[in-house]
Structure 1
Amino acid sequence: MLDLDLENVHVLITGASGGIGLATARLLLEQGAKVTAHHNMTSDILQDLQNSPSLFLVGADLTSESATKSIFGSAVERLGTVHALVVSHGLWIRDDVFLKDMPLERWKKTMDINLTSTFLVTREFLKGLEDAKARGEDPDKIDKASIVFVGSNGGRIGEAMHADYSAAKSAMMYGLTLSLKNEIVKIAPKGRVNCVAPAWVYTPMAADALKDPAIVYQSLATTPMKKFGDPFDIAAQIAILTSAKVSGHVTGQVAYVTGGMEGRLLNMKEDLQG
């Protein structure tokens, strides 16, 4: 197994009860990291990891400012300073809706869960890092500071009838990632901010959609590898980017884990007839 030098590095993972978050938590624990695994609704899926003394489970609604502050306080109390952050929570609403017909309530919900909550989590992480530096924590640990966002290929190519999700992910992948990579170094000179952007992945959130033959065809028709991703595919890239040992000079980047996907077909064969 490749040693990523993550021994005792405390990583907080949001959305750890989802497919990508769970796979990331499992992989980072195997690498010797200390992991705070956040969940929103239930922690049942995380129970098989609970035997690890390096794991702390915490539940919170990340759209709440006070709840977000609370999970960082609890994480620091249990496992010490949070040195790395993986933002893997998110919401993709299944219903197809043209923007002209989209209720404001849906737009706000998507933005709050995917983007505003990311702002709240990232802000608390950076504040905690600053506090740790002021306390004189070991500079070697501060140097391992890292943020990895989980974006989406939809943030690059767009997604018709899901403009809310695409817009939120695009803001995270570009505006936020590229801004924060310039800010984190003011706290941690070797700190890094990157993003992993998957296409469709076999996760609980995507399970129903991937039962639709039309969605499968539209996606795989432009994917050279002719397959969807597995949560481990994404988790492995997250772990690599979290590691200062192997990615110490990588920041401000979006790693696309898409099987080479170039886009989605806009017109099916029947759409072109007549």
Structure 2
Amino acid sequence: MQTTNNTVLITGGSTGIGLAIAEVLIKAGNEVIICGRRESKLLEAKQKFPQLHTRVCDVAQKSAREELYQWATSEFPHINMLFNNAGIQKEIDFLTGASGLYDEESEIETNLVATIHLSALFIPHFLQQQKECAVANVTSGLAFIPLKIVPVYCATKAGLHSFSISLRSQLAKTNVRVFEIAPPIVKTELHREAQARKQSQRGIAAPAVAEATIRALKNNHYETIIGEANVLKGASRIAPKFFHNLLNKVATG
């Protein structure tokens, strides 16, 4: 796929992997739009990269997703790429019931429902374009071997992995390409709880994920599993129960 002269929307693009992907796409000659919940972070991103277009949007809200679609396609009618990158991760203990499941942030809405809904909104617009278009979903190595302390996060990423496969099959004969990027632990705000336990010191840097993403787009590698995430995917085929227990033992100390 061509990696220049595109118009790209990245959800959760003001920090971490999203901002790193925005940077490499800008440098490659693309028009880049980012959205996020926090206006302060969007302003910081724009100060760093003045070429960015920004939009405050909480993708966990259905009405906000619809407004984002209407605004993006109106202001940028040639938009042809959607990066579903927004995500949150929470440690939830089901032994305490529903505590933390539906507090300030919903993992299910942000990580899974938003991706599905935004894809459904943008794909008909993409099908009308004359050029190649793309939907790129950021999943995780934990889609293959789950970590028990973040069960909902793992479930949403496993769902996104499955969704990406099905969507790719549906769109195979169209101009819309479907990519999945599955990183391992990355040194971003997403893993702030893991950082408190010193688990994410081994994580890779967000720019490394961004560079791997651009290579995947350029070479039409529709499923890109990065770094240690490859180990988890392989383990899921060999001995999933054994590696699940091993991963959880290492993660919880």
Query: Could you say which TM-score interval applies, normalised by the shorter chain?
Result: 0.7 to 0.9
CA distance in structure 2 between the partners assigned to 1:50 and 1:260 by the alignment: 32
CA distance in structure 2 between the partners assigned to 1:102 and 1:266 by the alignment: 21
Q: Which residue of 1 aligns with 2:18?
A: 21
Q: 1:96/1:24 Cα in 2 relative to 1: closer, same or farther (>3 Å)?
A: same
* TM-fit CA distance, 1:79: 2.8
- Structure showing greater Rg: 1
Q: Report the identity percentage.
A: 19
- 1:199 aligned onto 2:169: no
Q: How many positions carry a matched residue from both structures?
A: 236
Report matched runs for 1:174-253 at 5 Å. Answer: 175-188=162-175, 191-213=176-198, 215=199, 227-243=202-218, 246-247=219-220, 250-251=221-222, 253=223
Unaligned runs of 5+ in 2: 233-242
Which amino acid in 2 is paired with 1:228? G
Would you say the 8 A contact 2:92–2:151 is kept in 1? no
Report matched runs for 1:140-159 at 5 Å. Answer: 141=131, 144-159=132-147
* TM-fit CA distance, 1:111: 0.9
SS at match of 1:160: coil
* TM-fit CA distance, 1:103: 0.8
Q: Which residue of 1 aligns with 2:96?
A: 101
Which amino acid in 2 is paired with 1:194? F
- 1:36 aligned onto 2:33: yes
Would you say the 8 A contact 1:126–1:184 is kept in 2? no
* TM-score, normalised via structure 2 length: 0.82
* TM-fit CA distance, 1:18: 2.3
SS at match of 1:177: helix
Q: Which residue of 1 aligns with 2:87?
A: 90
* TM-fit CA distance, 1:102: 4.2
- 1:10 aligned onto 2:7: yes
CA distance in structure 2 between the partners assigned to 1:187 and 1:167 by the alignment: 29
Q: Which residue of 2 aligns with 1:256?
A: 226
* TM-score, normalised via structure 1 length: 0.76
SS at match of 2:144: helix
CA distance in structure 1 between the partners assigned to 2:50 and 2:119 by the alignment: 28
Report matched runs for 1:153-168 at 5 Å. Answer: 153-168=141-156
Which amino acid in 1 is paired with 2:165? L
Cα deviation 1:77-122 (Å, max 9, x = unaligned): 33332211111110101x351x343417616922111111111111
Q: 1:49/1:127 Cα in 2 relative to 1: closer, same or farther (>3 Å)?
A: farther
CA distance in structure 2 between the partners assigned to 1:178 and 1:64 by the alignment: 25
SS at match of 1:195: strand
